[in-house]
């Protein structure tokens, strides 16, 4: 269900997401085992190896907080972890797609995605932030309650987003292993923003501000730090901001 309204979370989307997550939970719960020997490399996107496309996009990194501290020594603990991650990312990827985003990769305890100007309605910066708010909403209202009901620890995460030009390229070896990567300073900077963000934070870069509504900027954006080590060409610092807006439950 594509999202066209970026100013609120509709009751229709709330109910569609609720049903979708419940079906996903049941499907994962019905699996006898989720861990199998070996692994499957997904097919890469339709790009020739060694070539790419440059586009302006909002780049998003989501990172699960304290993932390495979760119990994962025994087979049973690993089984629980795989089920939780499958459930979590199954919905997170759907939310990204609902907002016109493209998932580049899943890192195991995180995900990277980007939102281009032609991939959905509205400015991609606003779309990416609306998507992030929907992720936090889904985690609080649907995903973590289901995980807790299964006697597993809920998942907390942080999200960082910035905007600029990136080249989406297919890298690797033919007929072996190849994948899609986002190349450019924007992607590098966004991934490194995670070290400034705490669990539950939605952090955005300076270049994100131009695509957000004035009321969002006035009510929900505050400076996080200007001591990032990054600068503009004129030497002025590149600041980061915290966005504290969150969706409320539709009536």
**pLDDT computed for residue 37 by the predictor:** 46
For residue 27, being part of any structural domain is answered with no
Would you say the pTM of this structure is higher than 0.75? yes
**136: domain CATH number?**
3.30.70.1230
* First and final C-alpha spacing in the chain: 20
pLDDT, tens only, 82-105: 889 999 999 999 999 999 998 887
For residue 37, being part of any structural domain is answered with no
pLDDT, tens only, 124-181: 999 999 999 999 999 999 999 999 998 889 999 999 999 999 888 877 766 667 777 8
Please check whether residue 63 is in contact with residue 109, taking contact to mean a CB–CB distance below 8 angstroms. Answer: yes
Beta carbons within 10 angstroms of residue 45's beta carbon: 12
Tokens encoding 55: 């586009």
**The length of the chain, given as a count of residues:** 251
For residue 32, being part of any structural domain is answered with no
Full residue range of the structural domain in which residue 201 is found: 59-68+75-243
For residue 47, being part of any structural domain is answered with no
Between 176 and 3, residue with greater pLDDT: 3
**pLDDT computed for residue 42 by the predictor:** 35
For residue 30, being part of any structural domain is answered with no
Tokens encoding 176: 């072996």
What is the arithmetic mean of pLDDT over 190-195?
Answer: 93
Tokens encoding 142: 């649907």
pLDDT, tens only, 21-79: 999 888 888 876 654 444 333 345 567 777 788 889 999 999 999 887 787 788 888 88
**pLDDT computed for residue 10 by the predictor:** 94
For residue 202, being part of any structural domain is answered with yes
What percentage of the chain carries pLDDT values higher than 70? Answer: 92
For residue 48, being part of any structural domain is answered with no
Could you give the number of structural domains in the chain? 1
For residue 38, being part of any structural domain is answered with no
**pLDDT computed for residue 46 by the predictor:** 64
**Listed ranges 70-79, 112-121, 159-168, 225-234; the one with the highest mean pLDDT:** 159-168
> How far, in Å, CA of 164 to CA of 238, rounded?
13
**pLDDT computed for residue 175 by the predictor:** 63
């Amino acid at each position: 269900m594509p999202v066209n309204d970026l100013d609120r979370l509709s009751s229709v989307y709330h109910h569609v997401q609720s049903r979708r997550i419940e079906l996903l939970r049941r499907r994962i719960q019905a699996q006898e085992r989720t861990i199998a020997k070996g692994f499957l490399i997904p097919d890469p996107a339709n790009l020739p190896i060694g070539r790419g496309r440059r586009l302006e996009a909002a780049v998003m990194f989501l990172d699960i907080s304290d993932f390495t501290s979760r119990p994962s020594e025994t087979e049973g603990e690993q089984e629980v972890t795989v089920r939780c991650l499958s459930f979590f990312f199954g919905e997170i990827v759907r939310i990204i797609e609902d907002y016109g985003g493209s998932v580049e990769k899943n890192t195991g305890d995180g995900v990277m995605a980007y939102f281009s100007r032609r991939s959905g309605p509205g400015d991609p910066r606003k779309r990416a932030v609306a998507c992030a708010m929907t992720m936090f909403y889904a985690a609080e209202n649907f995903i973590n309650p289901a995980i807790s009901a299964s006697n597993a620890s809920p998942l907390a995460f942080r999200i960082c987003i910035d905007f600029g030009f990136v080249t989406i390229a297919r890298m690797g070896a033919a007929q072996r292993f190849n994948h899609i990567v986002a190349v450019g300073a924007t992607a590098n900077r966004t991934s490194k923003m995670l070290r400034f963000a705490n669990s539950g934070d939605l952090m955005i870069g300076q270049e994100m501000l131009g695509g957000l509504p004035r009321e969002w900027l006035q009510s929900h954006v505050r400076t996080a730090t200007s001591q990032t080590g990054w600068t503009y060409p004129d030497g002025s610092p590149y600041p980061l901001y915290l966005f504290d807006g969150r969706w409320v439950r539709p009536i």
